[in-house]
Structure 1
Amino acid sequence: MKNSKILLFVKHFFSIKTMIFVLLFSASAKAQIQKVEPPFWYAGMKNPEVQIMFYGKNIAQYEASVSNNVAIKNVEKTENPNYLFVTIDTKDVKASELVFSFKTKNKVAFTQKYTLKERRANSANRKSYDASDVMYLIMPDRFANGNLKNDSNTSLTEKANRQDPSGRHGGDIEGIIKNLDYIASLGATTIWNTPLCEDNDKQHSYHTYGQSDVYKIDPRYGTNDDYARLAAEMHKKDMKLVMDYVTNHWGITHWMVKDLPTKSWLNQFENYTQTHHRREVLTDIHASKLDQEVCVDGWFVPSMPDLNLRNPIVAKYLTQNAIWWIEFADLDGFRVDTYNYSDATAMANWAKAVTTEYPNFNIVGEIWMHNQANLAYWQKDSKIGAIKNYNSNLPSVMDFTLHDQIGSAFNDDEANWDNGMTKFYNNFALDYLYPNPDNILVFAENHDTDRINHTYKYDFTKYKMVMTLLATVRGIPQLYYGSEIGMGGDKGKGGDAAIRQDFPGGWNGDTNNAFTAAGRTAEQAKFFDFTSKLFNWRKSNEAVHFGKMTHYIPENNTYIYFRYTDTKTVMVVFNNNTKEQIVKTNRFKENIKNFKSGKDILTGKTFDLATEITLEPKSAVVLELE
């Protein structure tokens, strides 16, 4: 009996000891690995190799192995012992749960599970945005507050303060989801949000270009699952979601910047050096190496450390992050911020890697330059780039030269050799420089520029001319939230906050709700109704999507061009004068052909094309020829 009690005690003692050991072992493993990125991956990718970053205190002292007969292709250790980069080959590996073991002295110290997930059906061949779409640009913090509970977050420094024009106001993903019908009613088919990943800057974090975690949606906007839900809800409405991706820099508060994997993760000079923004040096055959280096390697601003994409680990990290978001959130495209501030070769490789995985995926780069040669150089298959043996692999660029002309042309009341409507003629006359002019983003304004309504002093006639141009020229039109209800803002006096004001009706207690027809003022309705009718017409007109364009040299500050296919012709007529103009039609017989009349798509008025057209002062007319 006594011996039985002793045996029972020993058994019980060792069971407790085993449990304690297991608990300590688990706690040790949990403490050892603080982050794994990508947090999971997908089976069946065209590039089967995935670089997994394990982060934890002194993790580099361990040797890694992985289950399921998965091959480890490479293990990279840096001067920081808190990082271990393990590259595995997932070729022919099914969706499954892998287990990484970390050994020291041939003994397993801890393990880490890692999931390979199943991809969505036909994920690789997803359709992206193109010239049949209209893109609507939103600054999420300023659009609509759909979830009052996430306005501030205890883990993040800046709290909501709607009284501060440059503070966080509480707009979020839920607010966008709740107003998708409004955006669709405008005729927009695609949404580009400024970045949504976490930005833990002490102030001005609402714009989110100084990201502190690129695998995590900022909790003040919502969760990663909320972001995926936004895409899902948009897809139900045949809409597309574009992510604003940043390759050039992170925020100074990014968790990796606080504990750099390696000094070469960032571009650093002996003393702080800021880019000079003169990106002409990147294509200039006479440029000094110093000027080129400062342009690419200099920091954008002190709060945005410059990423060194020449470091292959960094380049792989950013490539995988981009692909991870496409798969996870089911994205339809990218807009890439400050595109040509990064190393050109590294960016070409990044774009190639993304479009190899997704052959139809569109990416538009922010190339903020002011002549067509410098813009066209950066579009995929550019003959200008070929002069320097360079191909960016970037499908699309933003048409900043057209933006420049839109900002002044409609104020040129009297014509001369190169002002007024000639500005547009000259702009499009250089389209031969672009490898694909149909696939460039055309816009009058965005979150960094002057508001078009402020530029034109809220003149509705000029607003109509601007929007008519965007709706009917080649390329992908992009609208900026709020302009369609007459929103403006003086950037010269109020800075960026002035052009990023809250959308009326997006917050509880707003007395004006412009999201609904009943809630709009008469002035807001005037802007909205015109914009909605114009861009909803555009949705179904193939001639202005991918049709050819023929334009005629402007005369007397009038400008006429045609968009046409084999079956449909659209005639667009601008009168930029302050007086009525009569335009003789025999000059345009090349395109009018046997058409007898044209119907104004906005008013329904029919114009006889036999001899002449009478145009009202400061007006634009879009005619479907009959």
Structure 2
Amino acid sequence: MNRSITVFLFLIFANLTSAQIDRVEPPNWWIGFKNSKLQLLVKGENIASAIPSIEYEGVSINKITSGDSSNYIFIDLNIDRNTNAGTFEIVFKPKKGRRIKYNYQLKSRVKSAEDYIGFNSTDVIYLITPDRFANGDPSNDINKKMNENTIDRTDDYGRHGGDIRGIINHLDYIENMGFTAIWPSPLLTNDMFQASYHGYAMTNFYEVDPRFGTIDEYIELATKARQKGIKLIMDQVANHCGLEHWWMKDLPFNDWINFQKKFESKDKMVFSNHRRTANMDTYASAIDKKELSEGWFVNTMPDLNQNNPFMASYITQNSIWWIETLGLGGIRQDTYPYPDKNFMSSWAGAIMKEYPNFNIVGEEWSYNPLLINYWQQGANNKDGYQSNLRSTMDFAMQNLVIEALKEDDSWNKGLIKLYEGLANDFIYTSPKDIMVFPDNHDMDRIFTRLNKDVVNTKMALATYLLMPRTPQIYYGTEILMENTAKPGDHGLIRSDFPGGWTGDSTNAITGEGLTEDQKEMQSYLKKLLNYRKTSTAIHDGKTVHFGPVNGIYVIARILKDETVLLLLNKNQDEINLDLDRFKELGLSGKKMTNIISNEVITWKQNLKLPGKGAFIFSSK
């Protein structure tokens, strides 16, 4: 055989059998964490056959673990607290072929851990579905490399083109409205074949979806929001990934996802039973618990196995990576009760240990306050479970306010329902840290649920914003967006924000094309939000409420010399309210300002209320 041909064939064979590196995750890290450990996932053909080494002062390899797939290796590092920032080489020595050198960067942290201030009761959060909010950069609408590569604004479940640039362009509007935090639904790559717009079936946990923009734009959003006093909350998913995730074609371990053998053999999949009470139910069967935490959410969302320690590390490190990269002001964790609950406690604990002033809210869709309470840190749970979770979502109060306002006015039935619901706060460790909301991206718009009643909608918003809670408002609520034509239709619930697209005939930013009711609601909420922004009584004050009488329910928030009163009046006609019943508030003879109308009254023997509505007075 010709010598040149022999050499050529040898090189081909060596290339086929030698190791290579396709990705390393996390893609970089930082110095100065309390936890000195870092676990790197290294993916590449035959990389498990290579032996890694590092020569960098302060960085040492504790352990090397090959995956069940020969294309993965996991490297456990220790990073001393005194290690300097810089770039070091990881040298991989394979059994065959040449050594591979990979440069890995350790960065200095931009600010101290204590300076990561999470959202709290001083904030009002603006929830945004990015694809439906504003299209700031039409050039990224279609990406031919993605599985879903069309734009169709007439399709409720198709992509519409909203992006990160669109949110950046509207930060002035968000600030002027009085919001102090934004929560966009997931912006990471969701390379699914359909309905990829919502973002909850992620296919790469370290990549921004190019149809939303770039990581530089994500960082720009965080930076510009922060400059306006607006915190950025990241929507994360620890329970599942998307079926088209890059690792689904070559899973690192035989138990990387739950029911992996069924997936690989294309057997009938086991789906979650959605029996979330199995987490705390002392009678729950083992099979109910297993099907809850290990069953797939839907057939396009593989369930991640947090009991695999490498998966557990991957999820936790990913959260910390994004906190540092974006300077986050909080995390919203999707489908909180579905993953392994002990892992979720460890996950939240690891984050809160590193960032003691941070905050995380978990989604627990339950109308039972006992279940909501179970997930808040400090709860006196019978099984001793502690979640390390400061906030959880208050679906119970969200629903109760709406039911109370729709209830028949006779015998104060609706208002008493609300009064007794708020009385349930005795069970919560910290009611003000629980997130309440009129609606969100998964439920009918509040204007729809209240039968398009503007007065009831104002009453509801005032109640959510003045009770001891951390409120969240869904984009478009301020202009009475609704989905009456198709109740329950998620695509319609997530309709386009008017004015977010060039050529829109209606523009919520300029007011062009809005109805008088829409303009009035926008003005109402703007006044209420901007007042709330500076009200320490609403943020941290004591709450005193008075049992409903004659169709009127009064809630007071009190801190030092500031008293804020919410009077919910369900009477259609003018009523003269006797103020003697409220003497304990110590307001007699004081000037009180209606924060919506700016009318000033003197708190005396009685108060005329012109009819149904929410009346908000402040002693400031």
> Under a length normalisation based on structure 1, what TM-score does the superposition of the two structures give?
0.93
Deviations 1:280-319 (A, max 9, x none): 1211111111111111111111111111111111110000
CA shift, 1:499, in A, is 0.5
Instruction: Give the whole-Å Cα distance in 2 for the aligned partners of 1:421 and 1:580.
Output: 18
Give the aligned residue type for 2:391: S
Alignment of 1:111-190 (within 5 A): 111-159=101-149, 160-190=151-181
CA shift, 1:326, in A, is 0.7
Instruction: Give the whole-Å Cα distance in 2 for the aligned partners of 1:257 and 1:556.
Output: 62
2:616 aligns with: 622
Deviations 1:204-263 (A, max 9, x none): 110010000010010000011110110011111111100001111111111112211112
Alignment of 1:83-94 (within 5 A): 83-91=72-80, 92-94=82-84
2:337 partner SS: helix
Q: In the alignment, is residue 330 of structure 1 matched against residue 324 of structure 2?
A: no
Deviations 1:356-384 (A, max 9, x none): 1111111010011111111001001111x
- Judged with a 3 Å threshold, the aligned counterparts in structure 2 of structure 1 residues 595 and 321 are, in CA distance, closer, same or farther, namely farther
- 8 Å CA contact 2:52–2:92 kept in 1: the answer is yes
1:574 partner SS: strand
Give the aligned residue type for 2:21: I
CA shift, 1:518, in A, is 5.0
Q: In the alignment, is residue 490 of structure 1 matched against residue 481 of structure 2?
A: no
Deviations 1:412-437 (A, max 9, x none): 242447x3112221121111111111
Instruction: Give the whole-Å Cα distance in 1 for the aligned partners of 2:242 and 2:137.
Output: 26
Alignment of 1:9-158 (within 5 A): 32-69=20-57, 70-91=59-80, 92-105=82-95, 109-158=99-148
CA shift, 1:597, in A, is 3.9
Instruction: Give the whole-Å Cα distance in 2 for the aligned partners of 1:258 and 1:613.
Output: 69
- Judged with a 3 Å threshold, the aligned counterparts in structure 2 of structure 1 residues 170 and 29 are, in CA distance, closer, same or farther, namely farther
Deviations 1:563-616 (A, max 9, x none): 011121111111123333332111111113445342211112233432222223
2:353 aligns with: 356
CA shift, 1:521, in A, is 4.1
2:387 aligns with: 392
- Judged with a 3 Å threshold, the aligned counterparts in structure 2 of structure 1 residues 491 and 273 are, in CA distance, closer, same or farther, namely farther
Give the aligned residue type for 2:508: A
Deviations 1:60-97 (A, max 9, x none): 01111112142101112221111101011111221111
1:6 aligns with: none
1:314 aligns with: 311
- 8 Å CA contact 1:409–1:420 kept in 2: the answer is yes
Equivalent of residue 460 in structure 2, options 450, 454, 466: 466
Instruction: Give the whole-Å Cα distance in 1 for the aligned partners of 2:15 and 2:119.
Output: 47
Instruction: Give the whole-Å Cα distance in 2 for the aligned partners of 1:289 and 1:97.
Output: 48
- Judged with a 3 Å threshold, the aligned counterparts in structure 2 of structure 1 residues 580 and 26 are, in CA distance, closer, same or farther, namely farther
2:337 aligns with: 340
Q: Which shifted more, 602-611 or 163-172? A: 602-611
- 8 Å CA contact 1:128–1:360 kept in 2: the answer is yes
- 8 Å CA contact 1:213–1:255 kept in 2: the answer is yes
1:198 partner SS: coil
Q: In the alignment, is residue 237 of structure 1 matched against residue 237 of structure 2?
A: no
2:427 aligns with: 433
Equivalent of residue 208 in structure 1, options 199, 206, 211: 199
Equivalent of residue 198 in structure 1, options 186, 189, 193: 189
- 8 Å CA contact 2:377–2:429 kept in 1: the answer is yes
1:420 partner SS: helix
Instruction: Give the whole-Å Cα distance in 2 for the aligned partners of 1:353 and 1:26.
Output: 43
- 8 Å CA contact 2:19–2:97 kept in 1: the answer is no
2:255 partner SS: helix
Instruction: Give the whole-Å Cα distance in 1 for the aligned partners of 2:140 and 2:287.
Output: 46
Equivalent of residue 420 in structure 1, options 414, 419, 429: 414
- 8 Å CA contact 1:248–1:342 kept in 2: the answer is yes
- Judged with a 3 Å threshold, the aligned counterparts in structure 2 of structure 1 residues 198 and 31 are, in CA distance, closer, same or farther, namely farther
Give the aligned residue type for 2:74: F
Instruction: Give the whole-Å Cα distance in 1 for the aligned partners of 2:538 and 2:425.
Output: 16
CA shift, 1:558, in A, is 1.4
Equivalent of residue 504 in structure 2, options 506, 510, 515: 510
Equivalent of residue 403 in structure 1, options 398, 404, 412: 398
Instruction: Give the whole-Å Cα distance in 1 for the aligned partners of 2:42 and 2:228.
Output: 39
Give the aligned residue type for 1:340: P
Instruction: Give the whole-Å Cα distance in 2 for the aligned partners of 1:99 and 1:25.
Output: 27
Equivalent of residue 547 in structure 1, options 531, 541, 562: 541
- 8 Å CA contact 1:26–1:110 kept in 2: the answer is no
- 8 Å CA contact 1:29–1:110 kept in 2: the answer is no
Instruction: Give the whole-Å Cα distance in 2 for the aligned partners of 1:29 and 1:407.
Output: 64
CA shift, 1:624, in A, is 1.1
- 8 Å CA contact 2:19–2:46 kept in 1: the answer is no
Q: In the alignment, is residue 562 of structure 1 matched against residue 559 of structure 2?
A: no
Q: Identity of aligned pairs, percent? A: 40
2:74 partner SS: strand
Instruction: Give the whole-Å Cα distance in 2 for the aligned partners of 1:26 and 1:363.
Output: 49
Instruction: Give the whole-Å Cα distance in 1 for the aligned partners of 2:71 and 2:103.
Output: 19
Instruction: Give the whole-Å Cα distance in 1 for the aligned partners of 2:410 and 2:390.
Output: 36
- Judged with a 3 Å threshold, the aligned counterparts in structure 2 of structure 1 residues 30 and 464 are, in CA distance, closer, same or farther, namely farther
Give the aligned residue type for 2:455: T
What is the alpha-carbon root mean square deviation over aligned residues? 2.1
CA shift, 1:492, in A, is 4.3
CA shift, 1:184, in A, is 0.9
- Judged with a 3 Å threshold, the aligned counterparts in structure 2 of structure 1 residues 45 and 299 are, in CA distance, closer, same or farther, namely same
Instruction: Give the whole-Å Cα distance in 2 for the aligned partners of 1:288 and 1:579.
Output: 55
1:560 partner SS: strand
Deviations 1:85-125 (A, max 9, x none): 10111112211111111113498521111111111032443
2:3 aligns with: none
- 8 Å CA contact 2:450–2:457 kept in 1: the answer is yes
- Judged with a 3 Å threshold, the aligned counterparts in structure 2 of structure 1 residues 612 and 268 are, in CA distance, closer, same or farther, namely same
Give the aligned residue type for 2:386: N
- Judged with a 3 Å threshold, the aligned counterparts in structure 2 of structure 1 residues 105 and 58 are, in CA distance, closer, same or farther, namely closer
> Unaligned regions of 5+ residues in structure 2, if any?
1-7, 263-267
Give the aligned residue type for 1:73: N
Deviations 1:508-550 (A, max 9, x none): 1112211124564433211111110111111111100110101
Equivalent of residue 599 in structure 1, options 593, 597, 602: 593
- Judged with a 3 Å threshold, the aligned counterparts in structure 2 of structure 1 residues 493 and 434 are, in CA distance, closer, same or farther, namely closer
- 8 Å CA contact 1:44–1:94 kept in 2: the answer is no
- 8 Å CA contact 2:505–2:512 kept in 1: the answer is no
Instruction: Give the whole-Å Cα distance in 1 for the aligned partners of 2:12 and 2:89.
Output: 19
1:448 aligns with: 442
2:183 partner SS: strand
1:3 aligns with: none
- 8 Å CA contact 1:175–1:506 kept in 2: the answer is yes
2:291 partner SS: helix
Instruction: Give the whole-Å Cα distance in 2 for the aligned partners of 1:618 and 1:175.
Output: 38
Alignment of 1:214-293 (within 5 A): 214-268=205-259, 270=262, 271-293=268-290
2:265 aligns with: none
Give the aligned residue type for 1:87: D
